[in-house]
Structure 1
Amino acid sequence: MSAPRLPWPTAAEPLPLASLRPVLDRLSSLATRHGEDVQMIPGAALAETEVAADPPPALEQLTDELGGVRLRELPLLTLQIEERTDVGPYTLLGEPTSFYPLYETPDAAVILTLDEHGAPGAVYGIGEDLALQLAAPDLPTYLDRFTDALERTLAALTERGPAAEDSADARTDAAEQFMDEHLFAALLGMRELADMPQAAPCSAEQVADAAEVAGALAIWDLRGAALGTRVDLMDTDTPGDPLALHVRFGADGLVVTLQDG
């Protein structure tokens, strides 16, 4: 039995596929040239069997064409999540309709933020310590960044020689290490703190739209912040148990607040 569908807001316009066509074409080209290592998962409109996933309506055009990307059977980009959870890296996040996972492990994730209308916003990585790292200000930028990392990874795998002549396990391990090096280490808190820019909390007066920060116990404004900027949610001077708080995203996902309850 499939999981109940989420009550997604539907007011947002779908993300136009035309804005993503260049990066989708790049991914398709990589899959054609490196088919022994990378596979594109067909979207809902192209899949041979019914897809049980429940993506946000604003991503419908994208998820109709692309379901995700696998590298050596490792799911690196997942646009068709069938089961959602609120534990692990999602512990501090709010309503499940306020974000959508793009990549996940038991201890880390990359998420796309969504506003109250269902419009996609910024992309963040979440590490084991539940800190947020700004991955991209929007989904097209993240997909470009992801594809750049995938291209560099595939080039490194090519230098190892043909897949048929390589150890399958060793090649998969190498692929994972290359993707960590080129992308995920910077997003999932796998680097030294001194190497990551830190976002400092700001006051409500510094945020132009008071509605974005109503009821906030802590506020971070990442508009204009460098990619990789870190928001340490657990190292915040707030009353009570920090694990009882939840994150809210505003201003296209770039204003982060901690809310009570």
Structure 2
Amino acid sequence: MNTSLPWPDGAEVLPIAALRPVLDRLASLVTTHEEDAAQIPGLAVSEEEVAADPPPALEQLVDELGGIELRGARVLDLLVEDRTDVGPYTLLGDARTYYPLYETPDAAVVLTLDEHGTPGAVHGIGEDLSLQLAAPDLTTYLGLFADALEATLAALAERGPAEEDTDTERTEVAEQLMDAHLFAALLGTVDGVPEAELVPAEGDAAADGALALADLRGAALGTRVDPMDVDVPGDPLETHLSWREHGLVIAVHGG
């Protein structure tokens, strides 16, 4: 495994047994719909050298599964090779505090990681840098992803065999279906979602430099937090975020 980032080593490895049902489900979907979907090999089975640097807590998962491709596009990527701190990641700070699961040039879905490297909640990040709660943990997110993939593949199958369809149109439809079943609700493109209140930080959070907190514990999936609503000294784009309570409390810090 590539270890170019100085990952913390205090996190327990996420046991593969807890993920087995959803991994088997994804494998079955890909096998059944191999004309439209493909499984990206994990590190233990890949025949090619992979430059990805996943957090140690995901070791068992990424040994088995590298991700899922839909019509050639990565809709789940567990082996991200090129990390960046721009675009949707502008406010996220230290690359060791999150790990991308899906990304476009303007949006992303990320897994939060605490100071020990323990995985927490999953958030979508929109073009406006707002966050939306995708799932309280990785296992739940993978289940929601599998639901969306299953619905998408079923709809594609109803169009008929891939070899009798137009490649470009089928690919566009696949993207639209995944957006409709999952990504649109997480990436700031759906109106009317619940909003979490940002309140002034107090106590330990304030001592750590946080200006405001949004508490998503118990919040509905899709609940939105807009860090740009917080008045910060200096350049708002120098605002950065940190996580508390397994990624369910978002702290907004000034530049």
Alignment of 1:203-218 (within 5 A): 203-204=200-201, 210=204, 214-218=208-212
For normalisation by structure 2, the TM-score amounts to 0.96
Question: Displacement, 1:50?
Answer: 1.8
Is the counterpart of residue 46 in structure 1 residue 45 in structure 2? yes
Q: How many residues align?
A: 254
In 2: Cα distance, 1:64 partner to 1:4 partner: 14
Which residue, out of 244, 248, 251, partners 2:238? Answer: 244
- After superposition, what is the alpha-carbon deviation per residue over 1:220-247, rounded to whole angstroms, capped at 9, x for unaligned? 1111111000001112233322101100
Structure 2 distance, partners of 1:68, 1:93, is 23
Q: Equivalent residue of 2:198, what SS?
A: coil
TM-superposed deviation, 1:184: 0.4
Q: TM-score, normalised by structure 1?
A: 0.94
Show the counterpart of 2:122.
123
What is aligned with 1:196?
193
Residue 50 of structure 1 aligns with an amino acid whose one-letter code is: E
- Flag structure 1 segments of 5+ consecutive residues without an equivalent: none
In structure 2, how many angstroms separate the alpha carbons of the residues matched to 1:260 and 1:197?
Answer: 25
CA shift digits 1:52-104 (9 cap, x unpaired): 11000000000000000000001000000111000000000120000000000
Percent of residue pairs bearing the same amino acid type: 66
Would the aligned equivalents of 1:198 and 1:231 in 2 still touch at CA under 8 Å?
Answer: yes
Q: 2:129, 2:200 → 1: CA distance?
A: 22
> Which one of the candidate residues 215, 221, 226 is aligned to 2:220?
226
2:200–2:211 CA contact under 8 A, matched in 1: no
Q: State the distance in 2 between where 1:137 and 1:40 align.
A: 24
Aligned residues of 1:114 and 1:121 also touching (Cα < 8 A): yes
1:109 corresponds in structure 2 to: 108
Deviations 1:161-192 (A, max 9, x none): 11010001100000000000000000000112
Match of 2:247 among 246, 250, 253: 253
Q: Which amino acid aligns with 1:240?
A: G
Partner residue in 2 for 1:174: 173
Task: Give the AA of the match of 1:135.
Answer: A
Matched letter for residue 233 of structure 2? P
> What is the aligned-residue RMSD (CA, Å)?
1.5
